Amino acid sequence: MHSSLAQDVSVIRPANLRLSHFFSSLPLLAGGIVAALLPGLSEFFISLFNVLPTLLLLLGGAFCLVYGRQREVFLLLALYVGYFLLDIQVDHFRDNGQIRGDAALVFHLICLLLPLLYALYGCWEERSHLAQDMFARALVLLAVSAVAFGLTRRYPQGIADWLAQIHWPSLHGAWMNLAQLVYLAFLLAFIALSVQYLRKPRPLHAAQLVGLCGLLWMLPQVFILANALQVMISMVMLMLVAAVAHEAYQMAFRDELTGLPGRRALNERLQRLGRDYVIAMVDVDHFKKFNDTHGHDVGDQVLRLVAGQLRKVGGGGKAYRYGGEEFTLLFPGKSVEQSLPHIEAVRMAIEQYRMQLRDPQNRPRDDREGKQRRAGKAASEVSVTVSMGVAERQAEQRTPQEVIKEADKALYSAKAAGRNCIRSAGQRRGAVKLASGRE
């Protein structure tokens, strides 16, 4: 019977990892606000921020295309179009001391359309062929631009009055420096991007949220602060490009299934170890049989479960996905005696964790029925165990690769000893198991 996990074992990332998604974007937002508020910038920075949006569109867009990130390309393009049109108005105001005749219409229209297009492209994931996807996105941008241009050319005053009108007097506040409809557009965009981030926490989705806040801060300051437009648009575009780079790094160094650092990250760390360290190789017992019995989806959840417990290892240890059903625990600056209690604690935590399996064709209709079934033991319970082999650097094992080989030998010994146990490379043949459990 094909089964699925009834108990939630998919929550493998702690809250602080989600907060880290914002760490690259928030400093850029804060730096942009500080730079825009400065009474004056040097000629170098003024020139830099004048050319940075164009450079980010060209170089950042090319970088995003290399990784097949079409939506980031169009996010950058939508931001640049808004920047370009507003920059024309700001330059005229700065050079002549007065705004252009169409300034109010252009400003209100961009303030309304920019957050809507930003949210649309931000939530529009890549799903189809690259060329087809880019064509669809370009068609939407051209259609919106054509409709906006046509309406403003035919009914300029009517559109301007409608945009500036207070449609809901009871909801209008004295603090509102933009048209009322603009705040509605930002609210809808914020809700859409927030839902997207909560469903799929990623650095890119976090950067989109922070960038939207930057746009909301920037727009009322466009004609007030001399450098607000150039600085904040540059920062928001930089956030998006940096988020793509962050995710590219994760693709290379972090295992997508479990969220643990992957084999490449382990190899990088092994090159920076000191003289003393311990390596533990971890293997899920009977994983192939479990996978064949319950299905690959449940097998993936089992790997996430094991990874989630390994991530909690204490004693300065760090967990890595080695490959397949194998994991690695690394303890820099530790001995086997210092590491074993923490390794054993993880082994026991995995052994004692119970997972409930149920038939997806016979799912409960509501929470009440689900509780009754669980109370009545309607769902079958299974548990997972792991075998571990531990080795530390010795005089005869000078490289991390040699220590890993010793840990692998100890792992095979743990498998031969009945599984669900820990074997040390220093144990002699026939020694008792360091830690045993249910086989």
* Residues known to be catalytic: 325
Q: Two tokens at 191?
A: 């809700």
Phi, psi for residue 103 in degrees, rounded to 5: -60, -45
In sequence order, the 6+-apart residues with CB closer than 8 A to the CB of 252 are 264
E strand map for 112-174: none
d(CA 389, CA 422): 6
Closest CA to 298 of 353, 352, 350, 358: 358
d(CA 221, CA 210): 17
321 bridge partner residues: 327
Phi, psi for residue 52 in degrees, rounded to 5: -65, -45
d(CA 71, CA 126): 7
Contact 330, 320 (CB under 8 A): yes
Contact 379, 356 (CB under 8 A): yes
DSSP state of 286: T
